[in-house]
Structure 1
Amino acid sequence: MNQESPKKNKDIQDQAKKNRGTEHQGTKEKFWFDENQDKLFKIGKHKGENWAEIVAFHLATLLGISCAKYEPGSLPEESPTKYGVISQSFINKKDGERLINANEFLAQLIKNYDPDKTYRQENYTFSRSIALIKVLIPPLKEKSIKQFIGYLIFDVWIGNQDRHHENWGFVASSTELSLAPSFDHASSMGCRVGDTEKQERLNTKDTGYNVEAFSSKAKTAMYNNDGKILKTYELSELCHKHYPEESCFWIQKIKQVSEQDIAKCFESLPENWMSDIDKKFTTKLLQANQKQLKKLCIKN
């Protein structure tokens, strides 16, 4: 990654006044804008959610993970100014493409599956998600499963707890169906935790409260086949158990990311978006998860 100076917020005041379209999915304030309504402006409920999206995008890029691009933006017409992230749509509407979220297909595949129940959805499991990919895109299932395992291993690394059934899906065109790029990583890297708690966890000698302990308690939105919600580390173990080659492919890439590489991802942010404590805590969390993932592929 090239050395970059801190970025500035992209002022979307003038663009937002024209061709503005509503986005109903999710709980955050957001809208589509620009001439073709192909750019999404999303405002995090917590300021940390904004930097998390951008840092996650740059980390995904380091690994070669297909990911929606995020950059900082602001609405200066609001008082006070609203800050958020701008994401370019990965859907080509002119070619008739559309995004179909996983919940729509899971509801067709699984009896009594509630597509509107985003959380505490016990029918949303790792095995069923993999089965969905195999059923929908059998000609490309090996490539797509490797890609999807990459998303899940990436989630474990960044501590993403929000890969629910509307936060991944498929791009449908008139001729084919493919796995959509990864998107929506605003619930990662402990971005909602305050500076005071982060400092305490960084400084403590209590192994039950430090950053490593914090990382080990992170939960996913997926369940195992026994109706128990999966922690992120448990998800990585499932990935490795059923797809060891694919998992270790991505873990090897994560192993190669240095502290300097992580620091460069922070440089893509405007000044004052991340505190020094945020940066220290995030680096420590990524390193803790990196270390945990390495154990799965110790022989590789």
Structure 2
Amino acid sequence: MRLAVLLSAGVTVPAAWRHLARDGDAVLVAAARVAEDGGDVAAALRSGGDAWRDIAAAWAVAIAVGAPLADTLRSAVTALRDAGEVRDDVEVALAEPVATARVLTWLPLLGLPIGVALGLDPLRVITEPLGAGAVLAGLLLIGVSHVWTRRLADRSAPSIDLPGWEAELVAIALSSGVSVDRAQALAAAERGTTAAASVRAGIAASLELSIRTGAPAVELLRGEAWLARRRARTEGRETAARLSTRLLLPLGVCTLPAFLLLGVVPAVLGVIRSTVLPL
């Protein structure tokens, strides 16, 4: 956003990057050096990671079509901020069920210490075949539960792709007056992957509506991008709700039996050994 303000104030591109590079950020320093030499600033930005790659895509499209850099950066930063908030909302919604499941996964390990605290002497029992078998089975179930829980959480994690970003890039390209085909080709090239069918359908619907009614295609595309981010937030929260239910499966199938095998079985065997066998 600071770069957009500097460019709006009439500061040249190399000077603007040079001012920003005074903070010492490696990516900004590299971008300033490349801008000073008249090179590809987008290539320097891509080396900075995910967020910088998205800024690089907007910059590259704007440079390719001659779109106003200040306006492009403002709209791009706004879209990135919204997308970041969507991702944060989804991660917060997922954090509670995942943290609860992970705590419960390791809870059976307290079975043996609890038995010792109660004076049931389960440690002596686990040196015998039946007790040792119960402990090994319990530890195996804990491992299965941990892997199962982690895979469920990984599948529910939000995508690293920014919702609606393809539409934003097409809007940036169209803002300079290029053809629709050229705008879509530039956006696809910067994304590096083929957009999902639903994304392509949303962009196509916005462009078709613009042609049919004469409404500004850029505004329609940015509206489509906003709707994509809203859908991503809703779907993320629904995924978190479903995850809470799915995490009950490893809890019931693995964690509870593991607690019985590690806590209850050695304790019961210890009681039997100390009361029944001496008789």
Give the TM-score taking structure 1 as reference length.
0.26
Structure ID, larger Rg: 2
Which protein has the bigger strand share?
1
